[in-house]
Amino acid sequence: MNWIKNLKLRQKLLYSFFSVVLLVVVIGYMGINSLNNTEEKSIIAYKTGTLPLSQLGEFQEAFQRGRFNLLEAIIAKSEDVDRQLSQSQAKFDKADKFLELLEKGLVKGEGKTVFQKVKKYVDDFYSIRERIIGKIKQGATEDALVIFQNDLNATEDKVQEAVNEFNTLKVTLAKQKADEIIETADASGYVMFILIGVGIGVALFLGVFLTKIIGEPIQKTVEMITEMSLGHLGNRLKIDTKDEIGFMAKTLDTFAEDLQLSVIGNLNKISMGDTSITVKAKDEKDEISPALIRLVQTTHDLISETTKLSKDAVEGKLKTRGDANKFDGGYKEIINGINDTLDAVVQPIYESSKVLETMAEGDLTARMDGNFQGDFQIISNSVNKLAESFNTALSQVRDAVEATASASTEISSSAEE
């Protein structure tokens, strides 16, 4: 059955359709053939049974009318004799035509022997009729009547017996043909019933089979796509057929594998700070790989930029700032945030350094007057307190020096006196 599974979907559907069509054609052919056989047998039954019986009835009617006209000619007046004989001859001619039709329609072995008996007695009847006609024309009507009543009637009885035998034979044959037609119709009905049953069975089998080899894999595919939409990438279809469904399954398995290893795997590496991965676009329409490449490049650039800022800060290069214009969105905010952090750290350092430098030059009035927050305000307050302490101490020293100088002057003046 693997070769069926490996067929393309179009071929599966076409073969199934053609199978059903072929079955329908076979059923139709058998039905038509059965009807044709029944029709042929009906025609044969009509030609060999019904039609001959009808022709035989026509023959008997014409034959009896001809016989009656012959009797009328015997007893008729002289001026009516020719007319009666002419009518009698016309009736017998008509009877002969039906007799010829009967003979043409006979099938070998079906009543030909009996028909020959009918024909022989009819010929004997016609011979006696000619004798009667001769007597009539001679004026010997009494002799003609005697021949009619004796010889002609006896021969007519034989004709009737042969006709009855032929009629019985045809009725029997007609019944046999009717029985054959009924038997053929019953057999055809039985065959049609079997074929229809087979057709229904084949249709059901094809429906179940196609559902199994097409519907089930598609259902599995839908389930896998649903799982993938939920981020569950561990499932695999593992369908190895060579049709469109097998190709779709292999493509989906490959896609899931690529997502799990290449995309998710690389994202995990990036999340752990590994930007050494290499990603290549599959073709010019690939949208996933370029996005991943940009993510790797941006992350790498961000790490490089922040590393540079950290290194310069450690080395005391506090004027170094990150280039935020290299980035967009949240990454740009990160660099701007670091720059703002450096500004917030460096500004109190610069201002405290400037104050200390001014103090070193002897100006103890310098103070940090920037608006700082948190620990930076503590530093600012400490520097200002230091400057204030230095200023107070120096004032005290200056006062002490001045007092000492004044005392020395007074001592010197007293000593001179």
**Lookup: tokens for 200:** 């229904």
* pLDDT tens digits along 90-123: 999 999 998 888 888 776 565 778 888 888 999 9
Can you list the positions of beta strands (E) in 163-226? none
Which residue type, as a one-letter code, is found at position 100? E
- Burial 63-96, CB ≥16 within 10 A → b, else e: bebbbebbbbbbebeeeebeebbebbbebbebbb
DSSP secondary structure code for residue 325 in this structure: G
What is the spatial distance between Cα 220 and Cα 211, in angstroms, rounded to a whole number? 13
* pLDDT tens digits along 278-305: 878 878 888 888 887 888 888 888 888 8
Residue 227 has pLDDT above 60, yes or no: yes
Q: Return all residues near 185 (Cβ < 8 A) that are at least 6 apart.
A: 34, 38
Q: What is the mean pLDDT of residues 299-317?
A: 84
Lowest average pLDDT, out of 61-70, 134-143, 155-164, 319-328, goes to 319-328
Q: Which residue has the higher pLDDT, 159 or 192?
A: 159
* pLDDT tens digits along 259-281: 877 788 878 888 888 877 887 88
> Whole-model pTM?
0.48
How far apart are the two ends of the chain, measured CA to CA in Å?
A: 142
DSSP secondary structure code for residue 285 in this structure: T
Q: Which residue has the higher pLDDT, 24 or 69?
A: 69
